[in-house]
Structure 1
Amino acid sequence: MAHNPDKLDMFMTHRGRLVNYANRIVGDRADAEDVVQDAYLRFEGVADDRPVDEPLAYLYRIVRNLSLDLRRRLGRDRLRLVAEDTGVLAGMAEDRPSPEAEIGARRALQRVTEAMAELPERTRIALEMHRFGGCSIREIARHLNISTGLAHALVVQGLEHCRQRLHRDGNLHRDGNHD
């Protein structure tokens, strides 16, 4: 496969930020490096005759999806290993949350994921870059080609939407009207 120099230049320019973004999701720098490399290979595989409107946003989305997939896969692997080794762990004190707390945390994560999916793309990208990528408002503004004031407003709007959604869904769940 011939490499597209524009895609490669963009990737190399933003590689460090992409790794930081992936690292915040997967929690391991080496895994984040692998995710970003895989994301570039997928990004490079997109045919040039199918242009992407916002290639950098598209690359961030690939990194996000691969990072979330890896985090889920690693979580399942850890659970499987624990289940296989229950004899050794039986005598040890339990240092993980109760099953009820885990279910609650999973539900909350699902609600946040759903809330973020409801956001307009530019708002979601700004929020992800800020919260998961560790990007400054100035970096977000530059990436999205908008003013810093608008970048700040998008992050605040995204956070507020997620907060309201969690609050609304949490109240429905507690009242017994949802689930």
Structure 2
Amino acid sequence: MNKEIPQDLPSYFRAHPEQFVLKGNTSKKIINGVLFAIFLGLMIYPEITPAGELWIWRIIAGIGMAYTGFSIWLGSDFYNKQTQTKIVQASIKKFDSSATTEKDLISLLENENFRELANIPSKDNQPLQLYVYEDVAGKAFYLLLMKYFSSSDFRGITPVKIISGAEYDKHKPMIQALK
């Protein structure tokens, strides 16, 4: 386990540019760019539609522009530089705070006791959450226990736990059960 405690896993990936790279999906950005242009045209000239009220078409166009604009802006993913595969979010486990303590969760994570972690009850809107990202081709899991300190302060409380190699195959079923 590393000693640094990142804000979140994307921050961890950004902090290690020797291992990870942020790439944009060019085809998705082109498609979203074309759709944005179509929605922009509809916003300016809503009368090109054959039926309906013009204000309704402008609202539809505005929503479409917002969605495609954010898709263009956020359309990037982290990739492992060695395997050239996308790092995907595999799961989020929201632990029932009445069933366990922060100290117990940290101990279970450090000791790689994923069976116990999977058996702890889940509950929505909980302050302790385990985020799991996976590099399938690189056979690696990246786990980070995060905590809500306030409504505006949600950050990691443990160093990133990396499970790779033979440990990946050994723990894969239990880590995938963390949902």
Q: Which protein is richer in strand relative to its size?
A: 2
Q: Which protein is richer in helix relative to its size?
A: 1
- Larger RCO: 1 or 2 (CA < 8 Å, sep 6+): 2
Which TM class, normalised by the smaller chain length? under 0.3
Which structure would you say has the larger Rg?
2
